[in-house]
Structure 1
């Protein structure tokens, strides 16, 4: 992958203005699509299949008057009057509301058949109205008209207040907090880079990615039901990871420029190394977010996919737009001091300056890691106990779906909610609906009366507001007012009690399909479903992290340590969230306006996102430590050098993420506040306490055993290059090509297991120029088949370098295979050669397994076949032909006589065992090997 990313980075830097133009056009196009489609977000949360949702669906078809979003007007009499003294005015207000577009029913609160709710002293009256459908189904202007009617509906001695679910808005709240978060991120970047110009780049790329993804989600909302919190969540994640991913790549680029590297080469190398890590980091976040499907909750799956799409776009921006911008700025990103030195020395940085740059760095980072690893067991105990204490309040974290009581004080929705709770009782803000199928009853009204009395006798029931059959007298609806509010435990107990009695009522009253529903019951069902999904999701995330980290670090203990550290960070995030929202700590500074249960999907969302971010920090810190250990074998020294090399970037990344998440806390939106606080705390704890303190201590305690992996497991696990380790081979091949010229096939100390036999072929060293025909001969098929399979990209060397033109195995195996025309034994050579056409023929290889197939083709039509081969050789196509035997074979003589330029004909003998004292020659360039396994001769 690193070789492909290297070429991608160089290509983006070369086509810099075109790349910027493409992203600009894409942003304009997606923005136009979003505006043109005019999508609206949903404020409703649904889980198909639950009892409460089934009841809602039933009401929409059989009792539509009670299925829409509800609203209420609370009239309060003052100056010693009662609401009866203002009857005419109140009736007029409710009539005006009934005339507004989108209002299905507006009840007269003085109607004897369906009276409004009064308080004990008749100084307050609540009138109800029902909208036609859910939020988004009726015009937004209807909300404004109703609000205006109520605001002007008072008179002397009478106040009117509007409230209810119809006031829930799908608008995305953004405020100064998000801007402040970006400003703090910019300041941190300016400190890291010691310059303002490079500091602006990550902000620009992150905002670009977030802008496009947000507009794409808005466009999709025109056809898909997307929760309103989705865009804010995606924006928060997109800004955080977008800035961090750009920081990782840009800091590597700046570091390489400080060493005097060429700008375009540095861009390619930065994308190949840090870009590989960014892809891995992005994938971990994406997998965690997409993994929300294990909950089986559709709206949560949509949120996860949308957020994952935002992260994926952030990765693409970092790999394409960022290198283009780095190419545009060019030398301006190189530190001024280095620029002056290079200018004074003919454009080359002095060797002593490079040595000074590469020397181990001392400072706070080195002092900190030495302190953490001085007595590693003590560090581990202190960290675990400290985070454990921080996590203790998590036991009190309660979950629920947000209601109007979580809106900001001063809004109509929140003020009326509080007024209803104070005047009538908290249960009036969260009524329950009990429906029953009464089609088989002979006296519907008597049945409804009996059901009403039975429900009213249950504990935690404040009153029955309405009990009535529908117009068709086949469905009964009882509106139950609980004693507690929508999120109180007593209300949850009442819902459970009602459902427990359902079967008994069906038998006693002759009714069927008794369902407890309504917005409050839906919220309770969703909360229970989400709570039950936490353990399966945690198992999925932890299991995935164990596998992922075992692939990257080739270790057993490192993944276990990383996963346990992640769980500590999650515990701390939940504990602090409980302190804020359950205990009320820091409510003022954080702009938290309500205490109580947090939004039900907060734990699972924080777990998913924090997993990806924790694995990012683990990878950026520990991969450098592993790299140092592989080179030096010194476990303690590798911890120090790896930490000091990567810690500054991780510190900056964690601070930036915390700043961005904190900016969304101050927005005051209850649905996002707990998630933002959990992520901000989780990132701080994970980066500074777990990864930068606990991890070095554990690695120091384990010593060399930290990097232990059983051999059988090492053989099973595929190799993952997340730090661009393959870049060294790419750069070596570029240097070789600059010195010797392009080769169609190049092998350098390549060793591969034999195909169809035990043993190995190699080491092989040599090259074949483009436009040559190489006859590969051997006594027996295994050695010959192995060599041809290597050239065709159907086998990879276990060690050494294999390059086909500018593509290297195994990174570019797909590209190699796409350039090779493979002719298996028995192929129609004449027909297959006719298929070799198109552009870039000088990049093609024709691998013919059996020379006898070519012999037959030459015997049938020698002039045409020879002319076709000559034409392809002239175009730069390279041929490899397998033949039986170690000495010159007939096909060589045949081709020598028929080719227009016999000098293009080469021959190579390969053997499965080494021939001491010989050198492998596969063409016009020769390099010596210590144990050659092939010999060649030019025909």
Structure 2
């Protein structure tokens, strides 16, 4: 792989306009195909494994008005006067004239008659393109009543699909924050803008790829947002890693084109492996059992592949154009290529130039037990609230009061009771249940203390099913709802099915809670195997998986405290505590585990590279952390800014996802990478690299960094040694334009290592 990446990076830098033309051609082809045959994201709300889906399918087959999309128009007089009947008649007529409407129920007045609810039934599912995200017909029908001074709010399936659109602030906040962070961290506007430009190009091509994906399968309307969130973050990370290694070589006096090749052969392999771990994690989403997660995984994978490809090819091009401007101005003024001053400045300008990180790493290594204990206690304390986490799919009650669906929900709850927002629907198969059996079923439900009303049974025109609704005594997000659904379902006779939105949400919540452990097992297992292949160790991958799980658990805990306990809902524009969305934990885990592995690869590859050269375990940890600390910190800060930008959106699921992922990345880059990793590795010493001989023979060897020899092509000299020593040296100033002839630094192992000896297999 290193030979291919070296040629790719060096070739891109040597022929920048060819590379740019290739990307322009690729972008044009993909965009043209997307415009010609691309699809539109469309949700698929059917869940075949959910018990409530059985009843929904029966309703669609025999009573389409009850089994497809619906909407509620809630009319309220703010002065407390009865809603005029002629206004309701006009509204009903306008609603009946809307496309796809098959029935409009008579207006249902409240007890004091200052509120009325008109229910609209459609003959198609809410995912139909004419309905999904389209509030215009409902707004037009309600316009005369609003003009007359009445309050009109919209609820139900159709309004909920359009009530909280994405404002697009996340991308803007992320890009601006990334630019500021990179300017402060690297002291160069060129170095700051280069990763952002690369990520945006890759993200643009990836977005067109997601449009093509939508032509081949149902892609959730939220999938492009998740793909953008992850793609923007990792794209900047990958470009930043390559840029940093390139700048190190340039600061050492290596010509720009050669430096681009070497950066691709070293840091480029970290990028490839890091992207692979993200893709593996995304594959785990398919195990969640819901089609929507598959679309999340595929869309995000397209974005990750696109930004990784852009980083590997466009970073060398932009570095060629930038020349030595990738270095801070102070370094450029104080040193010239090929001089001893350049070498000295290179040490200061490269990754090891951050003395604060070096001092920090040395301090942690001196007292590893203290630091590891303190960090572990802090992470466990943050994770404790996760034990109380309760999940429930998003519903209008979780949204801001600025959204019409939330106001409609509140009006219905206040005027008709909280359970009216989530009735339980019972579908009775008339071939198995007689009239008397249906009547007994209704009486049994009405006798329950947690049910306040049961509607009369309605029989379908073909006489195949009867339908009745039971109104709970509490709202659908109440903690008692799940138990109510299970109890009612257990009491139903054979031939009766419990369905409706509340039962459907309860089934989804239970399904996802059970599937979470399957996703965790798959993602952790495959990631551990990949890390073992790369780092030739049993301890390193197990420790990495444990720490990643710890950071994700802490993020779950913070999210539970913020949203479910209500510790910071006011700061997020929410007026009450609410459960964590059922959609968030699995999605968060799959994405975060891959992103955490990115940082693990960046850090451990440098530690291992140094350890192979010196066999000094503790010093290798210090030098590796010093070399990557600035990159990881800057990359994490950018990622946190991107995720917090998405947390500013109106939709509460996006808020929860943004907050949870921002907290996880923050903890992972600070507590885990800067404290737990160096402390535990200092404690374990050479045991970090222990690998049984039998396992060493079974595992394929994959390198994340070029710890051996960087390939020499076109007459370029080899840079590195076969024993893993890092190459150092300078260009020969006597030969203008010549590639640098590097003198390898021989390793100084703490103990002799035979040529045929595996890398620290067996006991250290």
Do Structure 1 and Structure 2 share a fold, with TM-score over 0.5? yes
Once the two structures are TM-superposed, the CA of residue 54 in structure 1 deviates from its matched residue by 2.0
**Is residue 72–residue 155 contact of structure 2 (8 Å, CA) maintained in 1?**
yes
Report the Cα distance in structure 1 between the residues aligned to 2:397 and 2:41, rounded to whole angstroms: 21
Report the Cα distance in structure 2 between the residues aligned to 1:249 and 1:67, rounded to whole angstroms: 54
Report the Cα distance in structure 1 between the residues aligned to 2:722 and 2:168, rounded to whole angstroms: 61
User: In the alignment, does 2:627 pair up with 1:638?
Assistant: no
State the match for 2:730 in structure 1.
none
Report the Cα distance in structure 1 between the residues aligned to 2:625 and 2:455, rounded to whole angstroms: 66
Once the two structures are TM-superposed, the CA of residue 176 in structure 1 deviates from its matched residue by 3.1
State the match for 2:696 in structure 1.
714
Once the two structures are TM-superposed, the CA of residue 391 in structure 1 deviates from its matched residue by 0.9
Once the two structures are TM-superposed, the CA of residue 362 in structure 1 deviates from its matched residue by 6.1
More strand per residue: 1
Residues 313-462 of structure 1 correspond to what in structure 2 (within 5 A)? Answer: 313-333=306-326, 348-355=337-344, 357-358=346-347, 361=353, 363-439=355-431, 444=435, 447-462=437-452
Once the two structures are TM-superposed, the CA of residue 33 in structure 1 deviates from its matched residue by 4.3
Report the Cα distance in structure 2 between the residues aligned to 1:17 and 1:498, rounded to whole angstroms: 68
**Is residue 276–residue 721 contact of structure 1 (8 Å, CA) maintained in 2?**
yes
State the match for 2:598 in structure 1.
616
Residues 911-930 of structure 1 correspond to what in structure 2 (within 5 A)? Answer: none
Q: Which moved more, 1:6-15 or 1:24-33?
A: 24-33
Once the two structures are TM-superposed, the CA of residue 460 in structure 1 deviates from its matched residue by 1.8
User: In the alignment, does 2:258 pair up with 1:268?
Assistant: no
Report the Cα distance in structure 1 between the residues aligned to 2:120 and 2:201, rounded to whole angstroms: 44
Report the Cα distance in structure 2 between the residues aligned to 1:15 and 1:356, rounded to whole angstroms: 29
Identify which of 544, 549, 555 aligns with 1:573: 555
Unaligned stretches of 5+ residues in structure 1: 110-115, 507-511, 738-747, 751-797, 801-939
**Is residue 424–residue 472 contact of structure 2 (8 Å, CA) maintained in 1?**
yes
Report the Cα distance in structure 1 between the residues aligned to 2:711 and 2:21, rounded to whole angstroms: 33
**Is residue 110–residue 116 contact of structure 2 (8 Å, CA) maintained in 1?**
yes
Residues 811-890 of structure 1 correspond to what in structure 2 (within 5 A)? Answer: none
Report the Cα distance in structure 2 between the residues aligned to 1:239 and 1:338, rounded to whole angstroms: 29
**Is residue 187–residue 329 contact of structure 2 (8 Å, CA) maintained in 1?**
no
Report the Cα distance in structure 2 between the residues aligned to 1:592 and 1:79, rounded to whole angstroms: 27
State the match for 1:743 in structure 2.
none
**SS across alignment from 1:734:** coil
How many matched pairs? 720
Report the Cα distance in structure 2 between the residues aligned to 1:228 and 1:548, rounded to whole angstroms: 32
State the match for 1:306 in structure 2.
299
**SS across alignment from 1:722:** coil
Once the two structures are TM-superposed, the CA of residue 642 in structure 1 deviates from its matched residue by 1.5
Q: Which moved more, 1:623-632 or 1:525-534?
A: 623-632
Q: Is the alpha carbon distance of 1:38 and 1:364 closer, same or farther for their aligned partners in structure 2, counting shifts above 3 Å?
A: same
**SS across alignment from 1:283:** helix
Once the two structures are TM-superposed, the CA of residue 355 in structure 1 deviates from its matched residue by 4.5
Q: Which moved more, 1:8-17 or 1:421-430?
A: 8-17
Once the two structures are TM-superposed, the CA of residue 364 in structure 1 deviates from its matched residue by 1.0
Once the two structures are TM-superposed, the CA of residue 594 in structure 1 deviates from its matched residue by 4.9
User: In the alignment, does 2:467 pair up with 1:477?
Assistant: yes
How big is each residue's C-alpha offset from its partner over 1:875-907, in whole Å with a ceiling of 9 and x where there is no partner?
xxxxxxxxxxxxxxxxxxxxxxxxxxxxxxxxx
Report the Cα distance in structure 2 between the residues aligned to 1:138 and 1:303, rounded to whole angstroms: 20
Identify which of 228, 252, 257 aligns with 2:245: 252
**Is residue 2–residue 725 contact of structure 1 (8 Å, CA) maintained in 2?**
no
CA RMSD of aligned residues (A): 2.7
How big is each residue's C-alpha offset from its partner over 1:753-802, in whole Å with a ceiling of 9 and x where there is no partner?
xxxxxxxxxxxxxxxxxxxxxxxxxxxxxxxxxxxxxxxxxxxxx979xx
Report the Cα distance in structure 1 between the residues aligned to 2:26 and 2:215, rounded to whole angstroms: 19
Report the Cα distance in structure 2 between the residues aligned to 1:362 and 1:11, rounded to whole angstroms: 31
Q: Is the alpha carbon distance of 1:319 and 1:169 closer, same or farther for their aligned partners in structure 2, counting shifts above 3 Å?
A: same
**SS across alignment from 1:291:** helix
Report the Cα distance in structure 2 between the residues aligned to 1:604 and 1:633, rounded to whole angstroms: 40
**Is residue 593–residue 668 contact of structure 1 (8 Å, CA) maintained in 2?**
no
Identify which of 198, 218, 226 aligns with 1:205: 198
Once the two structures are TM-superposed, the CA of residue 292 in structure 1 deviates from its matched residue by 1.6
**Whose radius of gyration is greater, 1 or 2?**
1
Report the Cα distance in structure 2 between the residues aligned to 1:635 and 1:322, rounded to whole angstroms: 33
Q: Is the alpha carbon distance of 1:57 and 1:215 closer, same or farther for their aligned partners in structure 2, counting shifts above 3 Å?
A: farther
Identify which of 111, 122, 126 aligns with 2:117: 126
Once the two structures are TM-superposed, the CA of residue 139 in structure 1 deviates from its matched residue by 2.5
Once the two structures are TM-superposed, the CA of residue 180 in structure 1 deviates from its matched residue by 2.0
**SS across alignment from 2:145:** coil
User: In the alignment, does 2:211 pair up with 1:214?
Assistant: no
User: In the alignment, does 2:63 pair up with 1:71?
Assistant: no
Higher relative contact order (CA 8 A, sep 6+): 2
Identify which of 73, 96, 105 aligns with 1:107: 105
State the match for 1:822 in structure 2.
none
**Is residue 69–residue 166 contact of structure 1 (8 Å, CA) maintained in 2?**
yes
**SS across alignment from 1:226:** coil
Unaligned stretches of 5+ residues in structure 2: 724-753, 757-764
How big is each residue's C-alpha offset from its partner over 1:379-399, in whole Å with a ceiling of 9 and x where there is no partner?
111111111111111122211
Report the Cα distance in structure 1 between the residues aligned to 2:444 and 2:13, rounded to whole angstroms: 75
**Is residue 131–residue 166 contact of structure 1 (8 Å, CA) maintained in 2?**
no
Q: Which moved more, 1:457-466 or 1:695-704?
A: 457-466
**Is residue 74–residue 117 contact of structure 2 (8 Å, CA) maintained in 1?**
yes
Q: Is the alpha carbon distance of 1:451 and 1:38 closer, same or farther for their aligned partners in structure 2, counting shifts above 3 Å?
A: farther
User: In the alignment, does 2:497 pair up with 1:498?
Assistant: no
Q: Is the alpha carbon distance of 1:495 and 1:628 closer, same or farther for their aligned partners in structure 2, counting shifts above 3 Å?
A: same
Identify which of 501, 518, 530 aligns with 1:519: 501
Report the Cα distance in structure 1 between the residues aligned to 2:718 and 2:588, rounded to whole angstroms: 49
How big is each residue's C-alpha offset from its partner over 1:5-46, in whole Å with a ceiling of 9 and x where there is no partner?
000112222332232233234334444444555744335533
Q: Is the alpha carbon distance of 1:33 and 1:453 closer, same or farther for their aligned partners in structure 2, counting shifts above 3 Å?
A: farther
**Is residue 483–residue 490 contact of structure 1 (8 Å, CA) maintained in 2?**
no
Once the two structures are TM-superposed, the CA of residue 243 in structure 1 deviates from its matched residue by 0.5
**SS across alignment from 2:649:** coil
State the match for 1:830 in structure 2.
none
How big is each residue's C-alpha offset from its partner over 1:834-859, in whole Å with a ceiling of 9 and x where there is no partner?
xxxxxxxxxxxxxxxxxxxxxxxxxx
State the match for 1:174 in structure 2.
167
**Is residue 554–residue 714 contact of structure 1 (8 Å, CA) maintained in 2?**
yes
Report the Cα distance in structure 2 between the residues aligned to 1:125 and 1:617, rounded to whole angstroms: 56
**Is residue 258–residue 335 contact of structure 1 (8 Å, CA) maintained in 2?**
no
TM norm structure 2:
0.89
**Is residue 285–residue 611 contact of structure 1 (8 Å, CA) maintained in 2?**
yes
Q: Is the alpha carbon distance of 1:174 and 1:323 closer, same or farther for their aligned partners in structure 2, counting shifts above 3 Å?
A: farther
Report the Cα distance in structure 2 between the residues aligned to 1:9 and 1:404, rounded to whole angstroms: 50
Report the Cα distance in structure 1 between the residues aligned to 2:303 and 2:395, rounded to whole angstroms: 28
Once the two structures are TM-superposed, the CA of residue 749 in structure 1 deviates from its matched residue by 10
**SS across alignment from 2:716:** helix
Identify which of 499, 511, 517 aligns with 1:529: 511
Q: Is the alpha carbon distance of 1:80 and 1:597 closer, same or farther for their aligned partners in structure 2, counting shifts above 3 Å?
A: closer
**Is residue 433–residue 480 contact of structure 1 (8 Å, CA) maintained in 2?**
yes
**Is residue 81–residue 123 contact of structure 1 (8 Å, CA) maintained in 2?**
yes
**SS across alignment from 1:589:** helix
**Is residue 369–residue 643 contact of structure 1 (8 Å, CA) maintained in 2?**
yes
**Is residue 34–residue 215 contact of structure 1 (8 Å, CA) maintained in 2?**
yes
**Is residue 281–residue 591 contact of structure 2 (8 Å, CA) maintained in 1?**
yes
State the match for 2:185 in structure 1.
192
Q: Is the alpha carbon distance of 1:500 and 1:8 closer, same or farther for their aligned partners in structure 2, counting shifts above 3 Å?
A: same
**Is residue 151–residue 161 contact of structure 1 (8 Å, CA) maintained in 2?**
no
TM norm structure 1:
0.73
Q: Is the alpha carbon distance of 1:732 and 1:132 closer, same or farther for their aligned partners in structure 2, counting shifts above 3 Å?
A: same
State the match for 1:56 in structure 2.
56
Report the Cα distance in structure 1 between the residues aligned to 2:145 and 2:183, rounded to whole angstroms: 56
How big is each residue's C-alpha offset from its partner over 1:670-726, in whole Å with a ceiling of 9 and x where there is no partner?
122212111111111111101110111111112222222222222222221111234
State the match for 1:670 in structure 2.
652
Report the Cα distance in structure 2 between the residues aligned to 1:127 and 1:554, rounded to whole angstroms: 66
